[in-house]
Amino acid sequence: MTGGRPLEGRRALVTGASKGIGRATATALARAGAAVAVGCSAHRDSADELVAALRAEHGVDAVTLAADLTDTAAAGAIVDQAVQALGGVDIVVNNAGITRDNLAVRLGDREWDEVIAVDLTAAFHICRAALRPMLRQRFGRIVNVSSVAGVIGNPGQANYSSAKAGLIGLTKSLAREVGSRDITVNAVAPGFIETEMTTSLSNAVRTAAVATIPKGRFGTVEEVASAILFLALPESGYITGHVLHVDGGLAA
C-alpha cells in the first residue's frame, strides 16, 4: 500500500451509497484506493452515476448493487454479490437507513417494523454474511453508521433511536467475537448533518437544533465520511468496539 492510496487493493461495500453520507463515504474510500460496491435500494440512476465517477476520477473498480434491505435474504445476498463483483470484501459500511417519525403513542406497528428491518436487522444480516469471508482471510473492517439518536434518544423517533442503539450493541458484541482475527467492528454516531433529511427541516427547527450543538452548526457528509475512512485505515487496526461521535459536541 502506498501513502497516497492506503486502501489500494482493498474492496469495500457501502450500503445506502447513492446519496448523502453513503455517497461521500464511497468517494472517500475510492480516493484512498479501494474498489467499491455501491449499494442502493432506490435512486439507481444516482448510484450508477457515482460508479462511473469513481471509475473515471479515482481509477478504481466500482459496481452498483441494488437490494431491498427489508428482505433479509437480499440483505445477506448483497455481500455475496460484492464478493463476486470485486473478488472479495475487506470493508463493509452499513449506512443504509430510513426514518418513520412519530410520537410513540401514535407510532404504528408498520412504522416500527420498517425502521427496525432496514436500520438494524439488515445490518445484522450484512455483518453476518461479511464475517464469513473476513474470518477466512483473517482481516476485515466493519463500520456501522449509528446516530446520536441511538446514544441520547430523540423524541418522535422511538423506532429510529432503538434501531441505532441496537447497532451500537451489535457493534460491540461483534468486536468482542472477531477481534482475534484482525477484524475490527466500529460505529460512527452522526448528529445533525446536512443531508436531504435535514434540508427539509423548517428554519425554526434548524435554529433550535443549532442552539443545542456546541460547534454551532450542522456537520457535513464529508466530515462523517472522513471518520468512517479513518476507521478503515491500516493505522486504525487497534480500534474496535468504539463509537465515534461526529456530532459537533451534541452528545458531550
197 has pLDDT over 80: no
CA distances from 140 to 11, 58, 197, 225, 249 (A): 10, 22, 30, 18, 29
Please state the pTM of the whole predicted model.
0.95
For the segment 31-43, the average pLDDT, to the nearest whole number, is 94
pLDDT of the residue at 247: 97
What CATH number labels 11-246? 3.40.50.720
Nearest to 63 by CA among 39, 43, 94: 39
Give pLDDT tens digits for 154-165. Answer: 999 999 999 999
If we measure between CA atoms, which residue out of 17, 20, 15, 18 comes closest to residue 197? 20
Let me know: does 55 contact 62? Beta carbons within 8 Å: yes
Q: What is the pLDDT of residues 76-93, one digit of tens each?
A: 999 999 999 999 999 999
Task: Assess whether pLDDT exceeds 50 at residue 1.
Answer: no
**pLDDT confidence of 42, banded at 50, 70, 90?**
confident
Task: Tell me: pLDDT of 3 over 60.
Answer: no
pLDDT at 200: 77
Residue 160 falls in the annotated catalytic set: yes
Strand 11-14 to 243-246 pairing: unpaired
**Active-site hit among 160, 163, 164, 168:** 160
For the chain, domain boundaries: 11-246
